[in-house]
Structure 1
């Protein structure tokens, strides 16, 4: 256990630094696609490693932070150069202390000169920026634009953490978005976290950038993320940071096992969903046939009977073809939240549903539609809504039955 740390200037000048690499793994490719360079110091007297938090805490002024940052980058590039010669496809992810990017440093071209000297192709280098640490936005953008023009890739690190400035995403237009460990931890068990991840994946697909999940520690987290569009992973589950790129014991086995498990799970899930949604369709069609023969004044009673008869039905309500609610919302009282009633309240007669996801496809001409899982505003629970057109004989008009079906979280990952 270190009791004292060598002077930071002594560490920098004598390069008492070591670079560890942590693999970035693509499960779909079943391969290591990149390495993140992580710097540690060491005490030359005892040989003990100085943890990064302790190491960087010693650089208390701007000059020391810049000097340490450059020394770490130099060590990382020189350590990676030999690996690059063996495998030209391997990417190097290198952290940049964004607080060091300012008017004085942005034109130094230090990193470009460094990788050229080490014989590393700039297109194999990903510059990771923690944007919240940057104090000079103009200097940051000048830095990003220069290195992008010279074929480097830009990553935003710790996205989704605490006070991450999401407005920097359209400003920087990153090539890679690294989702923070705080967002990844337990994502398979927390629907709200999963929805945030899905939002980042959807946004990244549209922006043409890659999502990387860092801090993955369990197979369940990896499986959940893979099922929701994330393909590149980094974390202790696969490998801890270590010098070089020697074979990590068990990693290939883990990757193969996860890939096979994902294939089996997706195949099974598709089959299960087909059976489940077929049963939903039959249930809703049966309800529609019953409602078609029901007088308007008895519609509420019929909906109540359906709620009691069919397991998993949370709420039922009927709309006209303009999206206006023409029945009360009848719910299973056992499923309604007793708290947060100001947030979750069943809609009443006359409510406008014309912009809802379950109405617009019907307006566009579909006979039925099923939404993705979401938190119901009627019950506060996770559900799907199935909307289905039926002909109401007594009124001589078409109506829309909307059925909120409970959708329990399957291991937190839908």
Structure 2
């Protein structure tokens, strides 16, 4: 335990900063693709490490924060330079204190001068910004534009934490989005966390940003994230921050084991999905064959009988070819939640489904369409809808059977 420590002025003047590095690991490439530089202070007399919280809380005004931030950047660059000379493929991620970016500092070019002095290519440097700490948005945007033009990459750090301003994502257009550990912790066991992570991942894929999951502490978290589209990980499970740039013992074995398990899980999941949808398709096809010869006045009774026969079925309803509901929705009463009745309610006869995801492909000419899992507006439960065109011989026209099928097993990765 620290009994005394150098003052902030001593730390800055004497550059009493150590840089620890934490790997950023790509499981698909089975390689370390980046290192985040993390700063710690040290006491030269005792050799004690000064933890980051004790170090940075001393910088309680703009001038001291800027001075400390620049020392940390300098030590990180100098420590990384040796590795960069040996391996030009590894990236350096380093935090910039966004509160220091303002009209007085934005033209200093301190970081650009630093990489030039250390012989590091700007292409290998990711500037991590916690945007919530910046009060001068104009200065921040000028900073981002300048360094991006100089070929640095820009990352938004701690995305999803606290009150982070998501409107900064379209403003900054980050090359990297780092998901905060508050989202990652226990993601394999919490459906809502997983859905938020999925949303960020899908968005990032569309806007061309790389997602990095921070704070990964278990193989289950890593596996769940990998199965949901994230490939780059950082956290104690792989390696704790440490001085030096040597390989971390045991990390390659963890990476290999996760990659092998992912391959097995993915193969098994595809086979299970194939079996599941074959079974669901057969259920829907059987119902369609029965409905084809059911008189119009008997359709609702037939739907009720299907509900008893097939426990996977949550809701059933029939549409005309214009997307208008021809029957009331028949539901499994055990699947409806009274606590959500004001939010979710089965649609009644006459309801317009013409803009629903399962109707539009039918309108476009498909005979059958199966949705991805989604929350049903009828029940509030996770389901898959299969919409299937039926030639109703009793009336001489086509109708559409829609079946909401339960998918509760998809709620977590466990």
Query: Shorter-chain-normalised TM-score: which range?
Result: over 0.9
CA contact (8 A) 1:19 1:37 kept: yes
Partner of 2:294: 294
Partner of 2:399: 399
CA contact (8 A) 1:191 1:409 kept: no
* 1:190 CA drift (Å): 2.2
CA contact (8 A) 1:27 1:232 kept: yes
TM-score normalised by L of structure 2: 0.97
* 1:408 CA drift (Å): 2.0
* SS of residue matched to 1:409: helix
The CA distance in 2 between the partners of 1:234 and 1:128, in whole Å, is 14
* 1:2 CA drift (Å): 2.2
* 1:160 CA drift (Å): 1.4
* SS of residue matched to 1:212: strand
The CA distance in 2 between the partners of 1:314 and 1:334, in whole Å, is 9
CA contact (8 A) 1:40 1:49 kept: yes
The CA distance in 2 between the partners of 1:304 and 1:3, in whole Å, is 75
Measured on the aligned residues, the alpha-carbon RMSD in Å equals 1.3
* 1:162 CA drift (Å): 1.8
Asked if 1:222 is matched to 2:222, the reply is yes
Higher mean displacement: 190-199 or 8-17: 190-199
Partner of 1:307: 307
* 1:345 CA drift (Å): 1.0
Unpaired segments of 5 or more residues in structure 2? Answer: none
Partner of 1:364: 364
* 1:10 CA drift (Å): 1.2
Give CA-to-partner distance per residue, 1:6-25, whole Å, 9 cap, x none. Answer: 31111111122111100000
* SS of residue matched to 1:135: coil
* SS of residue matched to 1:93: strand
Higher mean displacement: 132-141 or 221-230: 221-230
* 1:45 CA drift (Å): 3.2
**Aligned counterparts, 1:314-325, within 5 A:** 314-325=314-325
Aligned in 2, Cα 1:409/1:43: closer, same or farther, shift over 3 Å?
A: farther
Asked if 1:388 is matched to 2:388, the reply is yes
Partner of 1:263: 263
The CA distance in 1 between the partners of 2:124 and 2:192, in whole Å, is 35
The CA distance in 2 between the partners of 1:2 and 1:337, in whole Å, is 56
Give CA-to-partner distance per residue, 1:208-248, whole Å, 9 cap, x none. Answer: 12111111111121112112211111111111111112221
Higher mean displacement: 277-286 or 184-193: 184-193
Partner of 2:101: 101
* 1:409 CA drift (Å): 3.0
Give CA-to-partner distance per residue, 1:11-56, whole Å, 9 cap, x none. Answer: 1111221111000000110000000000111223332222112211
Higher mean displacement: 97-106 or 46-55: 46-55
* 1:187 CA drift (Å): 1.8
* 1:163 CA drift (Å): 1.1
The CA distance in 1 between the partners of 2:236 and 2:411, in whole Å, is 21
CA contact (8 A) 2:191 2:411 kept: no
Partner of 1:142: 142
* 1:399 CA drift (Å): 0.9
* 1:272 CA drift (Å): 1.0
Unpaired segments of 5 or more residues in structure 1? Answer: none
**Aligned counterparts, 1:160-309, within 5 A:** 160-309=160-309
The CA distance in 1 between the partners of 2:48 and 2:345, in whole Å, is 60
Give CA-to-partner distance per residue, 1:333-357, whole Å, 9 cap, x none. Answer: 1111120211111111111111111
CA contact (8 A) 1:188 1:411 kept: no
* SS of residue matched to 2:408: coil
The CA distance in 1 between the partners of 2:164 and 2:382, in whole Å, is 27
Higher mean displacement: 64-73 or 377-386: 377-386
* 1:410 CA drift (Å): 4.5
* 1:4 CA drift (Å): 3.8
- How many residue pairs get aligned? The number is 414
* 1:3 CA drift (Å): 4.0
The CA distance in 2 between the partners of 1:81 and 1:247, in whole Å, is 16
Asked if 1:68 is matched to 2:72, the reply is no
